[in-house]
Amino acid sequence: MTETPWPAPVATAAVDAVVTVPGSKSVTNRALLLAALAAEPGWVRRPLRSRDSQLMADGLRALGVTIEEQVNNSTGGTGGGEAWRVIPATRLAGPANIDVGNAGTVMRFLPPLAVLADGPVHFDGDPRSHERPQHGVIDSLRALGARIEDGGRGGFPLTVHGTGALDGGTVELDASASSQFVSALLLSGARYNQGVEVRNTGGSIPSLPHIRMTVDMLRLAGAQVDAPEDGGEPGVWRVSPGALRGRDLVVEPDLSNAAPFFAAALVTGGRVTVRDWPKHTTQAGDQLREIYSRMGGSCRFTDEGLEFTGTGRIQGIEADLHDVGELAPVIAAVAALADSESVLSGIAHLRLHETDRLAALAKEINELGGDVTETADGLRIRPRPLHGGLFHTYEDHRLATAAAVLGLAVPGVLVENVATTAKTLPDFPAMWADLLEPAAARD
């Protein structure tokens, strides 16, 4: 990347801001896929418009789904504003080429749908897509009757030879590398002849709230789903075969992307409200309320959303982030500015995310003078006075937002390729500048 690094702004005063965080990546991409598989058209309102959701939309379009971008205010309230109208294809069609980028949701969720297409569907993506684990999806689809060519690599590039239908049935897989393996099979499973039963034979599955989100969204689309959380067999999920309803769905704000904004309240001793924070949600990011409170902040619901207030003093934490790995990079940045040590555990799987997040965080924070060591399943962070320098982001949106948080308190942090935030938060630099603008200047 040859672009000039972005100088992360230093906070010169306590922040005091109200922020609108764009829609959830996880909800948007599930909603698009379920709408594409439905028996009738549907709406996805307030969608995230970012690289990952654009890749999902384009992938579905390549198979014949119509996705129209519309502004529709007719329903008023939360139903108005930007929306995607999704019109399912009469027949999902190959041949098609699909770019998965570095989007886990696209690389895992679309091949199980492509088996339902009539014809070959070729998938490829960013170089990192060749390294991220995909076996849980490919091997499972093969066991369920699909033909997939992957040149013996077990991942991308690959071709799914869709035949218009899949038998489906029971499959065993090791989902300890990613919850997305399970979500992927469940999301398309209602459209398989026998539905799908997914049995995890591996260790503990990370990011479980994301599977809960899959189950909830499937049920709202009319699918019958059995899940362990509802008294089902542990480690087993079942989706019965059946048609899905087209829905009118409003996407919640992306709570994981609220992490850097609330962090600004903690770091500067200020106050940040994220608008429209849902009272009930399956998003993993909701756990920020508890985690940041343990680090010294406090939060309350207001008429506008969720307000977080910091004191400027941050306590280190011991936290198992197995369920909420998405939050780890920004929490690590906050921990590096704390007044005591932190140990973040349960996140070995982050080594296979957008980049090896554990190695990248340790290296980059240490280059600024920090003391971060990798443990077997996480990070130990001992706060030390930090200095400015170039922070590499490894094409990882969450590394870039973590660097911005450090830059609030450390003059001279230069963020390489801040544009990588476009994966889930396209306007991040402008949003960050607005956050730091004194309240008086905004009025």
Active-site residues: which are they? 326
List the single partner that 197 binds among ligand PEP, ligand S3P, none, CB under 5 to 8 Å by kind.
none
Q: Is 200 in the site for ligand S3P (CB under 6 A)?
A: no
Q: Is 136 in the site for ligand S3P (CB under 6 A)?
A: no
293 labelled as ligand-binding? no
* Dist. CA 119–CA 92, nearest whole Å: 9
- Draw the binding track, 84-123, toward ligand S3P (x: CB under 6 A; -: no contact): --------------------xx------------------
- Draw the binding track, 300-339, toward ligand S3P (x: CB under 6 A; -: no contact): -------------------------xx-------------
DSSP string, 244-313: ----EEEPPB-SGGGHHHHHHHHHHT-EEEEET--SS---GGGGHHHHHHHTT-EEEE-SSEEEEE--S-
Helix (H) or strand (E) holding 371: strand 371-375
Region from 60-68, 159-167, 206-214, 337-345 binding ligand S3P, contact rule CB under 6 A = 206-214
Q: Which is nearer to ligand S3P, 180 or 281 (CB)?
A: 180
Shortest distance, position 125 Cβ to ligand PEP, whole Å: 10
132 labelled as ligand-binding? yes
Count of residues that bind ligand S3P according to CB under 6 A: 13
List the single partner that 183 binds among ligand PEP, ligand S3P, none, CB under 5 to 8 Å by kind.
ligand S3P
Contact criterion met (CB below 8 Å) for 6 and 412: no
357 labelled as ligand-binding? yes
Q: Is 283 in the site for ligand S3P (CB under 6 A)?
A: no
316 labelled as ligand-binding? no
203 labelled as ligand-binding? no
Region from 173-181, 195-203, 245-253, 289-297 binding ligand S3P, contact rule CB under 6 A = 173-181
CA-wise closest residue to 90 among 109, 69, 117, 58: 117
178 labelled as ligand-binding? yes
> Hey, what amino acid is at 201?
T
Q: Which is nearer to ligand PEP, 47 or 168 (CB)?
A: 47
Q: Which is nearer to ligand S3P, 210 or 271 (CB)?
A: 210
Q: Which is nearer to ligand PEP, 324 or 386 (CB)?
A: 324
* Dist. CA 265–CA 17, nearest whole Å: 9
Q: Is 207 in the site for ligand S3P (CB under 6 A)?
A: yes
State the residue number with the nearest CB to ligand PEP. 104
CB proximity list for 427: less than 8 A, separation 6 or greater: 22
List the single partner that 168 binds among ligand PEP, ligand S3P, none, CB under 5 to 8 Å by kind.
none
Angle of helix 104-114 versus helix 135-143 axis, rounded to 10: 10
Q: Give the interface with ligand PEP as residue ranges (CB under 6 A).
A: 103-105, 326, 353-354, 398, 424
Classify the C-alpha dihedral 94-107-225-43 as positive or negative: negative
CB atoms inside a 10 Å sphere around CB 107: 29
Q: Is 179 in the site for ligand S3P (CB under 6 A)?
A: yes
Q: Which is nearer to ligand S3P, 8 or 196 (CB)?
A: 196
Q: Is 395 in the site for ligand S3P (CB under 6 A)?
A: no
Sheet holding 147-149, edge to edge: 96-99, 118-124, 158-163, 147-149
Q: Which is nearer to ligand PEP, 221 or 425 (CB)?
A: 425
* Dist. CA 268–CA 408, nearest whole Å: 8
**Interior angle at CA 245, CA 241 and CA 248, nearest 5:** 150
**Interior angle at CA 32, CA 38 and CA 216, nearest 5:** 75
Shortest distance, position 152 Cβ to ligand PEP, whole Å: 24
Q: Which is nearer to ligand S3P, 283 or 342 (CB)?
A: 283
Beta bridge partners of 390: 414
Q: Is 420 in the site for ligand S3P (CB under 6 A)?
A: no
435 is written with which tokens? 């956050």
Shortest distance, position 256 Cβ to ligand PEP, whole Å: 7
List the single partner that 398 binds among ligand S3P, ligand PEP, none, CB under 5 to 8 Å by kind.
ligand PEP
CA-wise closest residue to 49 among 303, 388, 437, 424: 424
List the single partner that 103 binds among ligand S3P, ligand PEP, none, CB under 5 to 8 Å by kind.
ligand PEP
CB atoms inside a 10 Å sphere around CB 244: 23
DSSP 117: S
* Dist. CA 409–CA 383, nearest whole Å: 13
Query: Interface residues with ligand S3P (CB under 6 A)?
Result: 26, 104-105, 178-180, 183, 206-207, 210, 325-326, 349
